[in-house]
Amino acid sequence: MKINTIRFGEIDIAEEKILTFEKGLPGFNNCFRFTIISSDETDPFLWMQSLEEPDIALAVINPFRLFPDYAPIVNETDLEYLGNPSDEDILALTVAVIPVKYENMTTNLVAPILINLKNNQALQVIMENSQYQIKQPIFERVQQLLAGQDGQEAEGGGKDAGSDA
């Protein structure tokens, strides 16, 4: 499938790389299908590109790369909706906000996006009574990651995956 995007130009997306948000994504009522785009130039950020709206591409990040102890609590109903994946088959991403004054960048640790890597079903869950912040500052942690000081870069599948979706 080819789509013409605002940010990345024309891209070809294999069917197996299409993520489906059957319940939609909060704030994006007309967007149900996305793909993950990675770029060495924007690492550690990935881009979740809408297939319905070519001008919508959300910056996302694997929260475990910045917060190795991140432990989102996901209820059984959400896991069932995703197809009851094993921990290794879940990719968690959080939406990042990178303002013009990029030192103020944040990520939303309260509402992670969970992707079942086996069936590409995706869901943004909103944790109630969470210990995490909606606008968690990340600039310093990103700088440490880029400098290689955190020692937490992970390869492979599951919660620590980069762009295997």
Name the pTM for this structure: 0.86
What is the separation, in whole angstroms, between the first and last Cα of the chain?
Answer: 16
- Cβ atoms 97, 110 nearer than 8 A: no
Statement: 2-145 belongs to CATH 2.30.290.10? yes
What is the per-residue pLDDT across 62-118, written as a single tens digit (0 to 9) for each? 999 999 999 999 999 999 999 999 999 999 999 999 999 999 999 999 999 999 999
Res 128: pLDDT: 86
Res 89: pLDDT: 96
Q: Where are the domains of the chain?
A: 2-145
- Cβ atoms 93, 77 nearer than 8 A: no
Q: Which residues contact 47 (CB under 8 A, 6 or more apart)?
A: 7, 8, 36, 37, 38, 39, 57, 58, 59, 60
